Every structure is written in structure tokens, then in C-alpha cells.
Amino acid sequence: MLEIPVGGQPVPCRNNFCGTTDTAFAPNGHIFISDGYANARVLEYTAEGKRIREWGKPGTAPGEFRLVHSIQVDEKGIVYVADRENGRIQRFDLEGRYLGSWSNLGKTFAIALGPGCLYIGTQPRNQPNGSPGWLMKIDRNSGRVLGVVESTRNHGLAATADGELLVGPGANGPLWFMKMGR
């Protein structure tokens, strides 16, 4: 078992939330960590747990975050970061260089990779967390919405290699959805 000490957590933590929000694995075996509760950064480690770099700070400019909440890395090495409270998904290369963002998708809580797409769990920006929202299928190249389903479960997602979507958590456990959109 590999233990990775993230470090850099403020003391005391606010609202009992302090730490990482998600992890993702790059094609080269590196581990990316979104550290959004009490920090505003992305960290990168080797498969052996050696820290390589971090990027991000609090704010609204490119490469800055207001609650990094989910992270995924696709087969091309593009890092997708849900910048939840800024209402956008920011995209970076494997070295942390900013590639662009999509700010028309609401307050994104979760990102999952699907075949040629992203699945996201999102809700309106002007509503309290936990409000009803949507599960969306997004084109990875353009950010264009390919499919939408209304949902009250927007906090966690996973997708199978053939595009089936697992949504959770929920009061009665996770839900499976078949392939969504086109």
C-alpha cells in the first residue's frame, strides 16, 4: 500500500473539511490530486509517491481555483479540473500549463471520463450546494453539451470503458445509468 502525505493543510480546518477532494491517474502512471477543501491546488506525484509539482492558488483567474472538487486525466494527457465555486472546468497539460476553460456548465461537482467525452455532475451556480441539477455528457474537444439528464445526485460519478455511468452517492446507494446522449 502506498501512502502519499499531501501536507500543506491549514490549521485549524474550517467546517471540518480539510483535504483532498479527488484523485486521477495519468497515462504515464502519475497520480494527480485535487486539494480543494481548505486549499486551491492540484498536486502531482509519481506512481511511487514522489512529489513532482503543484499548481493553483485561490482566485478567479486562469489557473486559480475556488474549491477544486474533481479531477480527471484523459489518454492524451489533458487534466480536467472542476473549479466548482468558480463554475467552470479548467483544462491543463500534464505539466500544469493552462489550456483553457469551460464556464457555461454550472457549478461542477464531479467529472468522469467516458469514451471521447466527459460526464459531469453539475447544478446552477446561484443555488445552494445539493440543489437539483444535471448529469451532462460533454465533448472533450469543444466543451459542447452532448446530452443532459436532470438529477439530484451530482456529487460523485464514475464511467465504465464502454460509457455506462455510475452516479452516487445517494440515500439508497449508487445508481447505474445506461449510455447517455449520442
Higher-confidence residue: 101 or 180?
A: 101
Beta carbons of 103 and 90 less than 8 angstroms apart: no
Domain ranges for the chain? 18-177
22 Cβ neighbours under 8 A, 6+ residues apart: 33, 34, 69, 70, 71
- pLDDT tens column, 43-76: 999 999 999 999 999 999 999 999 999 999 999 9
pTM of the model: 0.88
76 Cβ neighbours under 8 A, 6+ residues apart: none
- pLDDT tens column, 83-118: 999 999 999 999 999 999 999 999 999 999 999 999
Distances in whole angstroms, Cα of residue 44 to Cα of each of 4, 30, 110, 121, 138: 11, 7, 19, 24, 25
Rg value, the chain, Cα: 16
Judged on CB neighbours under 10 Å (0-12, 13-18, 19+), 148 is middle
18-177, CATH topology level: Neuraminidase (2.120.10)
Distances in whole angstroms, Cα of residue 37 to Cα of each of 19, 64, 165: 5, 14, 26
Beta carbons of 121 and 133 less than 8 angstroms apart: yes
